[in-house]
Amino acid sequence: MFSVDEVDKRIDNRTLTSEGVINVISDVINLKFQDPIAASKYLPVFAKYYLFSRDSEIIKSLFYLCEEFKVYDDVTIQRYVSYTFFMVYYALPSYSKAIEYGLELEKIGFNYPFMKINTYKFMSIMCYSLNLFDNTIKYCQKCLETTASFFDSDTEIYHLMNIIYLNNLILINCRNKNYLSATINKDKLKNYLNLIETDAIAENVELYSKFAFFYYQLVFENKFDEQGYVDTMRYLMKGNNEFKLLEMPIDVHNELISRLSVDKYREDIIEICKFALESKKLIGDKTLIQLQLFSIYSSNLDDINHLRRNVKEYIESLDKYFQNMKFINQVISAENFRLFQLENRMFTVDDRASRDFLTNCYNRYVLEPDWDNIYSKSANGGTLVFIDIDNLKIVNDLFGHETGDAHIISIVSKIKENMKLSDRLYRYGGDEFILLTETNEDEMEKKLKQIVKELDEENNSSFSFGTVEFDSSSHLDDLLRISDKRMYENKNFRKYRG
């Protein structure tokens, strides 16, 4: 079985096929039973392969594999799973879902520096694509801060993150002309972009900086080095040079290609558009690139066959994309249903824990939180009622506890029939209940007397009660003490009268 590093290198060198990845996934499934943490380290590498291949079989296998790892309650594994989902949804692209996992990673943490750096980098790209410019800058800055904390200022990765940060500022300014002036000094930006093109900087960083600079020229000078851009793209289109290109938003090339002179660079535009459509390194909606290619072809009748073939290829690519999205939507829908069912179960369990099993009233343990969160903040105030079921001990002694339970249920049911939806009834003790209502005290006393009368007529049962009004300044302990005293006064009065 290949190590994680070996698989990663083979992916970078393009020597690992989809079939080879599927075989490694099978090995990982076996390894999962022996060492789940070691097996989970492969997940981001598989996601990286999908970034390059967009292979629908890989993504299906990867989703099913991640689902199997979800059962492990280990934070290291969960980070790998979340990071894998994050990368896959980013590649699809399904940015809202990817951002959800990115935020999850921020909450649970990262397993290694590049996981953190890449998460922030991709978050900045997605936020830019969604016009969330403040968040774009926020994640660019987080990316820079993280890089600076792990790498020296003369390293390739440090310069790269600065380039991405500056490039995003330029991209933002293209969409919002007033944004950049408040964020960065244009002269400093231009000087930095000039300085980094040195022999000491890695070629992939230099290529990225070139495109950033071409775009800078276009945005701030309304022109750019067209020949320099075409020469750079010609270089990238030779052999395997595409892999020297770092991932960047397709918007840069949308703008640059649209400004090229068709008379001078017609054939180059066609080749660049084809390259941009196929490249896995240019991220985002490529519809405008496709339309530019259609426009070039349709301007010349000799190219009608090329146009037809290109339209067919475009339709095929859309079909593949929608097939992938269909599968992803199925996964998301299934996940949403699972979460919905889980939330329902959690609510049911939580609700059961807060209720009395016999009467289904709330128990005494939630009385105080409810008072603090609901009734103590009520602008209109209300009434607290202390209820005590009469003669329950006699019923239990003479007829048994089952009859006693039935006696409790019948009285509680009668009270509930006369409650408002906003009222809450709590079982405070064996035969004691607390009712919280926004009904005023006089009206509540009339209602309770009527309920007692009906119970006496129906089955010769009754309860005693004490009421007390409350407002936002009242304290629960005082209300319970006063209402308890009044309940006993009511009980004794009815006994004496009887």
Report the CATH number that the domain containing residue 481 is assigned in CATH: 3.30.70.270
Of 184-198, 411-425, 453-467, 476-490, the one with minimum mean pLDDT is 184-198
Would 468 be classed as within a structural domain? Answer: yes
pLDDT of residue 315: 61
Residue 434 included in any domain: yes
Rounded Cα distance between 160 and 171, Å, is: 16
Average pLDDT over residues 410-420: 90
Per-residue pLDDT tens digits for 338-373: 555 555 554 454 555 688 888 889 988 889 888 887
Task: Indicate whether this model's pTM tops 0.75.
Answer: no
Q: Which two tokens stand for residue 188?
A: 């400093």
Percent of the chain with pLDDT over 70: 79
Structure tokens at 394: 């006699």
Pairing state between β 463-470 and 382-389: antiparallel
**What pLDDT does 182 receive?**
46
pLDDT at 451: 94
Question: In this model, does residue 129 exceed pLDDT 60?
Answer: yes
Residue 453: the pLDDT is 92
485 pLDDT more than 90:
yes
Quick one: average pLDDT of 317-325? 64
385 contacts 448 by C-beta, under 8 angstroms: yes
In sequence order, the 6+-apart residues with CB closer than 8 A to the CB of 247 are 51, 125, 281, 282, 283
User: Could you give the 3-state DSSP secondary structure of residue 467?
Assistant: strand
Please state, for a pLDDT cut of 90, what percent of the chain lies above it.
22
Average pLDDT on 365-385 reads 84
Above 90 in pLDDT, residue 89? no
Q: Which domain holds residue 450?
A: 362-497
The pLDDT assigned to 193 comes to 57
Question: Which range has the worst mean pLDDT, 208-217, 325-334, 413-422?
Answer: 325-334
**Percent helix, percent strand, percent coil in the chain, to nearest 5:** 70, 5, 20
pLDDT tier for residue 479 given thresholds of 50, 70 and 90:
very high
pLDDT at res. 116: 93
Amino acid residing at 336? N
Q: What is the mean pLDDT of the chain?
A: 80
Has residue 153 got a pLDDT over 70?
A: yes
**For residues 137 and 168, what is the distance between their CA atoms, to the nearest angstrom?**
8
Which residue in this structure is represented by tokens 């059962």? 71
Residue type, 382: G
- Where does the pLDDT of residue 191 fall: very low under 50, low under 70, confident under 90, or very high at 90 and above? low
Give residue 181's pLDDT: 47
| Residue 38 counted as domain residue | no
Please give the C-alpha separations between residue 462 and each of 172, 396, 400, 452, 498, in angstroms, as whole numbers: 74, 15, 18, 5, 13
Least confident range of 83-92, 115-124, 395-404, 489-498: 489-498
The CB-side HSE value for 377 (13 A sphere, CA atoms) comes to 6
Query: Looking at residues 37-54, what average pLDDT do you find?
Result: 84
Cα 19 from chain centroid (whole Å):
32
Mean pLDDT lowest for which of 332-346, 363-377, 458-472, 484-498?
A: 332-346
pLDDT one-digit tens code per residue, 224-235: 899 999 999 998
Closest by Cα among 312, 325, 252, 245 to 288:
252
Total tally of structural domains belonging to the chain: 1
Amino acid at 414: K
Please say if the pLDDT value at position 333 is more than 70. Answer: no
Print burial letters for 449-458: b (CB count within 10 Å at least 16), e (below 16): eebbeebeee
| Residues 40 and 77 sit within 8 Å (Cβ to Cβ) | yes
DSSP 49-105: HHHHH--HHHHHHHHHHHHHHTT---HHHHHHHHHHHHHHHHHTT-HHHHHHHHHHH
What is the dihedral sign for C-alpha 446, 447, 448, 452? positive
The 10s digit of each residue's pLDDT in 302-320 is 555 665 666 666 666 666 6
Concatenate the DSSP letters of all residues of 392-423 into one string. Answer: HHHHHHHH-HHHHHHHHHHHHHHHHHT--TT-
The pLDDT score that the predictor gives to residue 349 is 46
Read off the DSSP letter of residue 379: S
Q: Taking 90 as the threshold, does the pLDDT of residue 452 lie above it? A: yes
Is residue 190 over pLDDT 50?
yes
For the cut 80, the answer to whether the pLDDT of residue 274 exceeds it is: yes
